[in-house]
Amino acid sequence: MHKVICLNFTSLVPERWNSLPDIEGLKKQLASAAIAHSEVYGIELGLYAPPKEVREVKITAAAADQIRCMWHGHRGRDQISPPVIPLKIFVFGTGQDAQGTWVSIEVHPGMDEWEAV
């Protein structure tokens, strides 16, 4: 089943205020966050809640822009970690094999408008 899921993403890796988030690192964090979100809230990602793994994470250009803008522009002066960033996760692939159940997700902006402050 294809569905869109709201996810308030919080990076677990503190980075310097003036650094840009690493997209490949974000993909790993988003995969973990999607599975954890599924477990905590009992939300099915595709066929199963939760799947054993997220095999593929695609971040749209708009979502990457929202993450970068909010990473810096919405962070308080003395705040070490980035702010909570609302995103939407679209499940575009699911399956099951000898390793267990899996999903593939695409990340979209969770806000209609955003800007760096």
Q: Is 116 among the domain residues? A: no
For the sheet containing 85-97, what is the strand order?
A: 4-9, 85-97, 100-109, 53-59
Q: Is 114 among the domain residues? A: no
Q: Is 117 among the domain residues? A: no
Q: Is 60 among the domain residues? A: yes
Beta-ladder partners of 12: none
The pLDDT tens digits for 47-90 are 666 788 899 999 999 999 888 888 777 777 777 777 889 999 99
3-28 in b/e burial notation, b at 16+ Cβ within 10 A?
eebebebebeeeeeeeeebeeeebbe
Domain count across the chain: 1
Give the structural domain span for 87: 4-11+20-109
The whole-number pLDDT of residue 18 equals: 64
Q: Is 72 among the domain residues? A: yes
72-87 in b/e burial notation, b at 16+ Cβ within 10 A?
bebeeeeeeebbebeb
